[in-house]
Chain A
Amino acid sequence: MRKPYSISMIALLSFILVACGKGGDGKAVEGESGKSAAEPLKMVEFVTTQDGSPLIIKPELFDTPAAKEFATTGKNPYIGNKEAIEKGKKLFQLYSCTQCHGGDAQGQTGPSLHGPNYKYAKNATNKGMFETIWHGTNGGMGAKGKGLMDPTDPNNGLTPDEVLKIIAWIRTHGTTTGNE
């Protein structure tokens, strides 16, 4: 459940917090050396943005080459991919991310996603931003991942592949790719 943070307070915080370019918050980056030997796919260890606890995502959801690559490396192969970026923009609109973040992700009732400074420093990395979109935050941003977004429909929500496309589009507005 969401912790009681006031959104206006959070937005102010976003000015105080300065991301350190490479993932910032230690926990998020740590995961990249993940050793989940049990999986056939050697997945990175995902953690929630809420409290850094382990985030389990069914490996079969990573069902495209790009998603598989991301699951093992934490890097987003769609960065700079024109077609994927175009699709990402559509998805950003399809799920009304625009209502809170604005048509160009420049911020509206929710924060700007342009970076390089984020409310959650880890969102400077693609793995971090993936986790944020997939599982939500404490302060007013619901989980968007498949099976999490809509309690009434387990098939609703973004697939990992779709999240990566959205991120690829979001990154076109900033100066960093998130794969650094």
Chain B
Amino acid sequence: MEMSKIKVALGVALGMTVAMPMAAMAAPDQEAAIADPNNWAHPRRDHTNQAYSTLTQINKGNVKNLKYAWTFATGVNRGHEGSPLVINGVMYVHTAFPNNVYALDLNDNQKIIWSYFPKQDPSVQAVLCCDNVSRGLGFGDGKIFLQQNDGMLVALDAKTGAKVWEVRNTDPKVGATNTNAPHVIKDKVLTGCSGAEFGVRCFIAAYNIKDGSLVWKAYSTGPDSEVLIGPDFNKANPHYSALTTYEDVNGGNKQGGSFKALPKEKLKYPETDLGVKTWLKPQAVKDGWQHGGGSVWGWWPYDPKTNLVFYGTGNPSVWNPDVRPGDNKWSMTIFARDVDTGIAKWGYQMTPHDEWDYDGINEVILIDKGGKRLAWHHDRNGFLYTFERDTGTLVAVEKVHPFVNWATHVDMKSGIPHKDPKYSTHQDYNAKGICPAALGTKDQQPAAYSPKTGLVYTPLNHVCMTYEPVESKYVAGQPWVGATLTMFPGPDGVMGGFGAYDPLTNKNVWYNKEKFSAWGGALVTASNLVFYGTLDRWFKALDANSGKELWKMQVGSGVIGNAFTYGHKGKQYVGVLSGVGGWAGVAMNLGLTNPTDALGAAGGYAELTKYNAAPGGGALNVFSL
């Protein structure tokens, strides 16, 4: 069967795709690599996205003796997100733009086995909204997969670095780029799309790992046939497919207006083609959904039992909510899709009719706890969500910190957040004191889960904002933003934190403040240690039970990468990429070191220049006992 020839997104009848024989072959080498605890063969270690390692050589008693084992300067400046992969004695390291890749021989002094230097048009950097980061690599079928910023998805021979195939996934000419790590699931490699700040209509796409042919592509907006929504969608929770979740108060989309959540009894559901119908007329552009954003770039877990992959979609374009009336589905949504067909099993929109740029892209983590099969998600909008992962039914929704004020709570029956009219945003009106800021209570930096403690460990932003939607015009390939914002530290007087939560209830267990947003991803190990890095250059180990700091070391530049661990020749290593940047550090990276030039989007981050040389220099830091 030529799976590759089925271009689902181009309108092949849904029934036919479902009837396709399942191409269930996995990438056996990936499965074997993940099964070995010494490896780190998946961006988050394994398909659960837990970033949990069973290695225990480094423990609470000896962690204070952690020392630098080796470092590797990437030769590239600016934000370094994600983590390297480690597979059977070889480490694969990626960099920020131009997204170079190095294979290092752990058996021979970290010598470079091969390297890959993509040729990318430098102008691509101008259409990356929030620094030219890459979030890492994928592995499977003897290949290393790289998703370049310029939209090219590349498969490299893991042994030699030779290019096996490449395919264009997004087109920077219309403002569409990529920052995500490719995720290998079975015989496919999944990748996303960035560009909601450019009016791009984004999607998730699955390519055949053998030859790069497109298997399916599911848009975030548009008709069901292109969002890949079938008749059984949201079967357990049909009210997630309601035509509208709010009624307008004082005219809704104008200054003084706001939105009152409808109770479940008043919802009209299930409806089809909501990716079109929830973009009410008139929109800023003819059909709002055609430029509706909904970026996809997170970390995507996979459940082999149900064959579902989970991911979130980003903000609706444009940031001015008044010119896109309606719920703007399926932006801000967690989707669960069948990996073979792309067909969505369930989808839940966290922030209907977004007014604050609270992207829903943050990762989902698969958790089995209390006899339940759960999917956990810390959204940018400041709520922690726990779902039954097979159906999407809500189990627990809580604010991650009481400072979250745009909504009072989420109605567990309807699933709809109750927005506070005070923080509704409207054109030419500067709404003040909104918490959290657009970069959310957490952004790209993924959380971790330990089956041993039963807790999730999440990095935190603690930043609020003013938000003024403005009129803006769509031009292909140019930014299309439609709001100006300023950001400032939240009520705790700091800009970040790090906390542990119980995913069954989403109640806080412990909470540490951080001077700056904790913009690096977390790692947790079976010896109950949590690792993460900070923008002021610290790499830390905490007691997973209490949050007590047990060890820290300062690295060369602020950390926005993810902590990871691996074993080699009987020794456990922990590591992290350093190189400040990302949304929090982007202005600094561009050399705006004059304090009055502080990043408009985050004035509070100006102090980063007291901790970091600019632009941030990329390096890999590896520690052992």
Residues of A within 8 A of B (CB): 2, 4-8, 11-12, 14-15, 90, 93-96, 98-100, 102-104, 106-112, 114, 139-142, 149-150, 152, 156
**B484 and A100 contacting across the interface, CB-CB below 8 Å:** no
Give Cα distance in the complex from A108 to B121, angstroms: 21
Q: From DSSP, what is the main secondary structure of chain B's interface residues?
A: loop
The dominant DSSP class at the A interface is loop
CB–CB A109/B586 < 8 A? yes
Q: Which of B131, B472, B597 contacts A96 (CB 8 A)?
A: B472
Known contacts A108-B586, A141-B126, then 14 further A-B pairs from the complex at CB < 8 Å, ordered by chain A residue: A2-B123, A5-B122, A8-B591, A93-B482, A94-B470, A95-B475, A95-B478, A96-B473, A96-B481, A98-B484, A99-B481, A104-B484, A109-B129, A110-B590
Which residue of A has the minimal Cβ distance to B428?
Answer: A90
Scoring A2, A14, A93, A112 by chain B CB atoms within 10 A of each residue's CB, the highest score goes to A93
- Taking the complex as formed, is B31 at the interface, i.e. its CB lies under 8 A from any CB of chain A? no
Q: Which residues of B contact A156 (CB under 8 A)?
A: 475
Interface window among B153-161, B296-304, B598-606: B598-606
Residues of B within 8 A of A106 (CB): 592, 596-598, 600
Q: Assess whether B470 is in contact with A93, with CB atoms less than 8 Å apart.
A: yes
Q: Which residues of A contact B596 (CB under 8 A)?
A: 106
Chain B: minimal CB distance from A153 (Å): 8
- The digit string for B479-505, where 1 denotes a CB below 8 A from any CB of A, is 111101110000000000000000000
Residues of B within 8 A of A139 (CB): 122
Beyond A12-B615, A95-B473, whether A100 also contacts B479 by CB under 8 A is yes
Write the nearest CB–CB distance from A13 to chain B, whole angstroms. 9
The interface residues of chain B lying within 8 Å CB-to-CB of A14 are 591
Known contacts A103-B485, A141-B126; A8 and B586 CB within 8 A of each other: no
CA distance A101 to B557 in the complex (A): 25
Cβ of B125 within 8 Å of any chain A Cβ, yes or no, is yes
Query: What residues on A are CB-neighbors of B472 within 8 Å?
Result: 93-96
Give the Cβ gap from B605 to chain A, nearest Cβ, in Å.
Answer: 12
Pairwise interchain contact A108-B600, C-beta atoms closer than 8 A: yes
- List of B residues within 8 angstroms of A110 by Cβ: 126, 590
A4 to chain B, nearest CB (A): 5
B589 beta carbon closer than 8 Å to chain A: yes
Q: Any chain A CB within 8 A of the CB of B476?
A: yes
Chain B contacts of A95 at CB under 8 A? 472-473, 475, 478
A100 and B126 in contact, given A93-B470, A112-B597, A149-B475 (Cβ under 8 angstroms):
yes
> In the complex, A163→B388 CA distance in Å?
54
For B479, list chain A residues within 8 Å (CB).
96, 99-100
| With A104-B600, A112-B597 as contacts: A8 and B615 at CB distance below 8 Å | yes
Asked if B126 and A140 make an inter-chain contact with CB atoms under 8 angstroms apart, the answer reads yes
Q: Is the CB of A102 within 8 A of B600?
A: yes
CA distance A112 to B615 in the complex (A): 16
- Report the minimal beta-carbon distance from B536 to chain A, rounded to whole angstroms: 21
Interface residues of B in 569-611 (CB under 8 A from A): 586-587, 589-594, 596-601
Are A98 and B590 closer than 8 Å at their CB atoms?
Answer: no
Residues of A with C-beta under 8 A to B197: 99
Q: CB-CB < 8 A to A93: which residues of B?
A: 470-472, 482, 484
Taking the nearest CB of chain A, how far is it from the CB of B599, in angstroms?
6
Q: Quick one: which of B477, B478, B485 has the most chain A CB within 10 A?
A: B478
Check A2–B122 contact: CB distance below 8 A. yes
The answer, yes or no, to whether B78 is at the interface (CB within 8 Å) is yes
| Bound CA–CA A2/B471 (angstroms) | 29
Which chain B residues lie closer than 8 Å to A112 at the CB level?
Answer: 592, 594, 597
Taken together as a complex, chains A and B put the C-alpha atoms of A11 and B475 apart, in Å, by 25
Q: Which 3 interchain pairs have the tightest Cβ spacing?
A: A103-B484, A102-B600, A140-B126
Q: Which residues of chain A are within 8 angstroms of B122 by Cβ–Cβ distance?
A: 2, 4-7, 139-140
- B180: interface (CB < 8 Å): no
* Centre residue among B78, B472, B480 by max chain A CB count within 10 A: B472
Assembly CA distance A103 to B589 (angstroms) = 18
Q: Are A11 and B478 in contact (CB under 8 A)?
A: no
- Kindly state the separation between the CA atoms of A149 and B482 in the bound complex, as whole angstroms: 18
A119 to chain B, nearest CB (A): 10
Cα-based distance from A107 to B606 in the complex (angstroms): 12
Which of A6, A90, A141, A156 has the largest number of chain B CB atoms within 10 A? A6
Q: Is there an interface contact between B121 and A4, defined as CB atoms closer than 8 Å?
A: yes
Question: Across the interface, do B473 and A94 meet the contact criterion of CB distance under 8 Å?
Answer: yes
Q: Which residues of B contact A107 (CB under 8 A)?
A: 587, 590, 592, 597, 599-600
A14 to B615, CA, bound (A): 13
